[in-house]
C-alpha cells in the first residue's frame, strides 16, 4: 500500500507537530480541527519551527513544506487520504467522535492511527468499521525532534496495517518500536512510571531527598533530567493521570503521596511555576540545582524500571533492543536501560529489588528473567 496523503486530526502541540513531520517527509497533509483559531495558531507554530530548521540548514525552503499542509475544519478533506492520525485530547468520548466521523469519509483502504498514550487501542478500534486497519502510533513530544514512535497493534490489527505503519514511521525519519500487543502505558510511559515510583519511595521512606535522587539521575546515570525535574517538566497532573491509568489497568502500584498532594495544591510543575522545584514564573523552565554528590545508589534508582524491562522481554512485548530504543530515542537516555543495568551490575539491581520487596513492596518482586540474568544463567 502506497501512502501519498495523510490527515491529522487535532492541531494542538502533538497534532501540528505530527503534521509538520509528515510534510517534511514529502507527504500531502490535511490538518483538521474544530475551529480556525486553533488551526491558525498551529500554522504559526509550524512556520516558526520550519524557519528554525532552515536557519540550522536542515531544510532549504520552509514555504515549500508549509504548502504541503492544508488546514480545514471539515472532515470531508479526508475523503482521499491514505492514512489518518488522531491527536486530540485524551478523552475517550472525544476520540470516539473523531473516529466515527473519519470512518464515514475515509476511503476503504485508509488506515486509522491514534496517538493516544493511555486509552486501549482495541477500545478505540471497536468504534470503527475498520478494526483490522486501526493501530496505535505513539509519537513523542516534540514530534519534529524526537525520533521514537511506538507502534501498538490492537486485538484486531492486521499484519499489513502494522507493516505499513512501521514503514511510514521510518519514512518520516523515526525509529519505530513495534509492540506485540497493547498494554497500558506502552513501554516508555511504564518505565517512566517505574522510575517515578522508586524515586518517590526513596524520598517518602527517608532514604534520600528529592535533590539527592535527581543528582543520582543526572550525575551518575547521566540522564538529561532528574526524575522529579522531568516530572515537573511534563506536568505533575499529567504524571498523576498516567500513574492512575496504568495502575487502574493492572500494574502493581507503589504507594506515593507526593504527586497527588502537589496536584491537589495546584503545584503542577513548570506550567504553574512550582512543583517539586520552584521556577521563575509559570511556564518558565530553569534547570534546578542539585548537589554534585549523592548517597543514592543509581542501581537502586533504576531497579524497578529494569525489572519492568525484563517483564516486557519475558512476555514478548518487545525485546531488549526495543526497550533500549524507547529510552534512547523517546527520553534521550545516553544509552539503553538494559545496557545501564549490565554496566551497574544486574546482581546488584536484583539485590536492591529483593531488599525492597522484603519490606512489603509487591511491585519489586524480581521477574524470573531478571533473576536468571542476575545468576548468570541468561542475558538480555
Active site residues: 117, 138, 150, 189
Number of H helices, E strands in the chain: 17, 8
Binning the chain into helix, strand and coil, the percentages to the nearest 5 are: 50, 10, 35
Q: CA dist 332 to 111, 115, 171, 274, 314, Å?
A: 30, 20, 21, 24, 25
Q: Which residues, 6+ apart, have CB-to-CB distance to 28 below 8 Å?
A: 4, 5, 6, 68, 70
350 close to 365: Cβ distance less than 8 angstroms:
no
265 close to 307: Cβ distance less than 8 angstroms:
no
Identify any residues that bridge with 177 across adjacent strands, giving them in sequence order. Answer: 150
C-alpha cell at 31: 490538518
Alpha-carbon distance of 36 to 357, in angstroms, equals 54
Is the bond into 142 cis (omega within 30 degrees of 0)?
A: yes
Residue with cell 554528590: 293
How remote is the C-alpha of 3 from its chain's centroid?
Answer: 25
Can you tell me whether residue 233 is helix, strand or coil? Answer: helix
Residue with cell 534547570: 287
Q: CA dist 359 to 53, 63, 201, 205, 354, Å?
A: 51, 60, 12, 11, 9
Instruction: Provide DSSP, 95-115.
Output: HHHHHHHHHHHS-TT-EEEE-
Tell me which H or E stretch contains 134: strand 134-139
Tell me which H or E stretch contains 347: helix 346-357
Amino acid at each position: 500500500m502506497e501512502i501519498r496523503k495523510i490527515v491529522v486530526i487535532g492541531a494542538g502541540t502533538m497534532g501540528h507537530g505530527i503534521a509538520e513531520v509528515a510534510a517534511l517527509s514529502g507527504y500531502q497533509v490535511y490538518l483538521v480541527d474544530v475551529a480556525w483559531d486553533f488551526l491558525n495558531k498551529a500554522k504559526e507554530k509550524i512556520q516558526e519551527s520550519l524557519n528554525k530548521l532552515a536557519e540550522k540548514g536542515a531544510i532549504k525552503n520552509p514555504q515549500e513544506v508549509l504548502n504541503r499542509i492544508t488546514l480545514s475544519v471539515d472532515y470531508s478533506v479526508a475523503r482521499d487520504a491514505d492514512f489518518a492520525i488522531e491527536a486530540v485530547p485524551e478523552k475517550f468520548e472525544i476520540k470516539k467522535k473523531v473516529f466515527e466521523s473519519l470512518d464515514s469519509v475515509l476511503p476503504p483502504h485508509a488506515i486509522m492511527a491514534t496517538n493516544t498514550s493511555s486509552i486501549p487501542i482495541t477500545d478505540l478500534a471497536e468504534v470503527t468499521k475498520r478494526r483490522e486497519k486501526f493501530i496505535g502510533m505513539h509519537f513523542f513530544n516534540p514530534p519534529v525532534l524526537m525520533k521514537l514512535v511506538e507502534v501498538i497493534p490492537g486485538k484486531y490489527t492486521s499484519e499489513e496495517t502494522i507493516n505499513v505503519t512501521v514503514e511510514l514511521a521510518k519514512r518520516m525519519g523515526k525509529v519505530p518500536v513495534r509492540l506485540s500487543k497493547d498494554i497500558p502505558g506502552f513501554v516508555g510511559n511504564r518505565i517512566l512510571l517505574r522510575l517515578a515510583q522508586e524515586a518517590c519511595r526513596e524520598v517518602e521512606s527517608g532514604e534520600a531527598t528529592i535533590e539527592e535522587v535527581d543528582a543520582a539521575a543526572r550525575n551518575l546515570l547521566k540522564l538529561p533530567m532528574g526524575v522529579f525535574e522531568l516530572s515537573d517538566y511534563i506536568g505533575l497532573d499529567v504524571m498523576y493521570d498516567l500513574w492512575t491509568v496504568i495502575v487502574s489497568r493492572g500494574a502493581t502500584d507503589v504507594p506515593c503521596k507526593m504527586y497527588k498532594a502537589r496536584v491537589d495544591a495546584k503545584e503542577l510543575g513548570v506550567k504553574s511555576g512550582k512543583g517539586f522545584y520552584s521556577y521563575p514564573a509559570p511556564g518558565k523552565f530553569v534547570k534546578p540545582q542539585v548537589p554534585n554528590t549523592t548517597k543514592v545508589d543509581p542501581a537502586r534508582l533504576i531497579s524497578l524500571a529494569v525489572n519492568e524491562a525484563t517483564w516486557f522481554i519475558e512476555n514478548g512485548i518487545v525485546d531488549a533492543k526495543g526497550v533500549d530504543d524507547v529510552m534512547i530515542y523517546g527520553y534521550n537516555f545516553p544509552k539503553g536501560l538494559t545496557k545501564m543495568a549490565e554496566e551497574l551490575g544486574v546482581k546488584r539491581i536484583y539485590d536492591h529489588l529483593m531488599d525492597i520487596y522484603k519490606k512489603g513492596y509487591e511491585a519489586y518482586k524480581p521477574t524470573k528473567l531478571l533473576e536468571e540474568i542476575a545468576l548468570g544463567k541468561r542475558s538480555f
